[in-house]
Amino acid sequence: MNGVIIINKPQKFTSFDVVAVIRKLTGQRKIGHTGTLDPNATGVLPILLGNATKAQDIVPNHDKSYTAKFRLGMTTDTLDIWGAVTPQSDKTATEADVLSALENFRGEIEQLPPMYSAIKVNGQRLYDLARQGKEVERKPRKVTVYRLELKDFDEESQSGTLNISCSKGTYIRTIIDDLGKILKTGAVMTALCRTAACGYNLADSITLETARELAEKGEISEHIMRTETLFASYRKIYVSDAQAKRFSNGGELDMLRTALAKAKAQDKEIIRVSDRQGKFLGLGIADNESGQLKILKLFLN
């Protein structure tokens, strides 16, 4: 059983918890995931089965999208509703105030990673240090926010919802915490749902409950997408039978003898390679100096 199944991760499950459930339902021992979600977050979590686990370290860096809920007037040590409450504020904000403050977070911005994060400093995870009551110096990181919309805001409860599309490594909690600092109200994230990641969205996903029902009916395989879908953003070429055999056996391909002779590849461009029947063989990487399409990864079984 090879491919990708997209799970809408429920709250209070770790990403590894979801992997364990799908392993049991599919009987596939070779299994993993890409794009870790925090236990309290929900949404798109791609589970890799069989040969798809080979892709774990080479999945394209797609942008990610989230729906996040927030509340003004409070702060916590984790920057979300599940942390220990720190000093609160009686100051309030209007919807116009929030809209104006959000202008500071569009485009390329610098973020200070939260202490409760998996980033390592001197070999130690920040969240391990935070749990010991320690705070260490962190370096700001550049991230890009492509879309940031205020979906709703209730001035009475001082609560709202954001729709966000951003680059990999963006901390939504930090955006909300920084929003609270600009408004001088404080702010915490109260819910987070990832709506798109790794080229998949919520419409591609199923719940764990649905996965269990499908497994009982023997139909779960119908919801497993081909491994190749992980690389849909890469260009694809079809090769001859002889070239397919050579590539499958670890040989390089002369790009002038493929479709890349006309539609030339950029140096180091990653290319999907399929045989004439459309079977996905693997990924090649263009080496313009030698004129060869070298093997990046094979996905033959």
Q: What is the value of pTM for the model shown?
A: 0.91
CATH number, domain containing residue 32: 3.30.2350.10
Residue 202 has pLDDT above 80, yes or no: yes
Same structural domain, 164 and 125: yes
Same structural domain, 128 and 251: no
pLDDT of residue 277: 96
pLDDT of residue 132: 76
pLDDT of residue 128: 80
Same structural domain, 171 and 222: no
Same structural domain, 68 and 144: yes
Structural tokens at position 16 = 């590894």
154 catalytic? Reply is: no
Number of domains observed in the structure of the chain: 3
Mean pLDDT of 119-136: 75
User: Looking at 197, 216, 247, which one is the last position of a domain?
Assistant: 197
Q: What is the DSSP string of 171-240?
A: -HHHHHHHHHHHHTS-EEEEEEEEEEETTEEGGG-B-HHHHHHHHHHT-GGGGPBPGGGGGTTSEEEE--
pLDDT category of residue 180 using cuts at 50, 70 and 90:
very high
Euclidean distance between CA atoms 122 and 124, whole angstroms:
6
Same structural domain, 291 and 262: yes
* Cβ count within 10 A of residue 51: 19
Q: Which residue from 189, 170, 145 is spatially nearest to 41, judged by alpha carbons?
A: 189
User: Looking at 208, 229, 250, which one is the last position of a domain?
Assistant: 229
Same structural domain, 68 and 179: yes
Same structural domain, 164 and 68: yes
Q: Which of the 8 DSSP states describes residue 80?
A: B
Same structural domain, 187 and 78: yes
Domain span at residue 20 reads 3-59+200-229
Same structural domain, 140 and 20: no
Same structural domain, 73 and 50: no
In the three-class reduction of DSSP (H, G, I as helix; E, B as strand; rest coil), residue 148 is classed as strand
Mean pLDDT of 266-279: 97
Containing 25, the helix (H) or strand (E) segment is helix 15-26
Same structural domain, 32 and 77: no
Euclidean distance between CA atoms 106 and 128, whole angstroms:
31
Euclidean distance between CA atoms 7 and 207, whole angstroms:
6
Residue 133 has pLDDT above 80, yes or no: no
pLDDT category of residue 134 using cuts at 50, 70 and 90:
confident
pLDDT of residue 294: 98
Same structural domain, 31 and 95: no
The catalytically annotated residue of 38, 80, 177, 178 is: 38
CATH number, domain containing residue 289: 2.30.130.10
**pLDDT, tens digit, for every residue of 29-46?**
999 999 889 899 999 999
Mean pLDDT of 130-153: 88
pLDDT of residue 280: 98
Residue 118 has pLDDT above 80, yes or no: no
pLDDT of residue 61: 83
Mean pLDDT of 167-187: 96
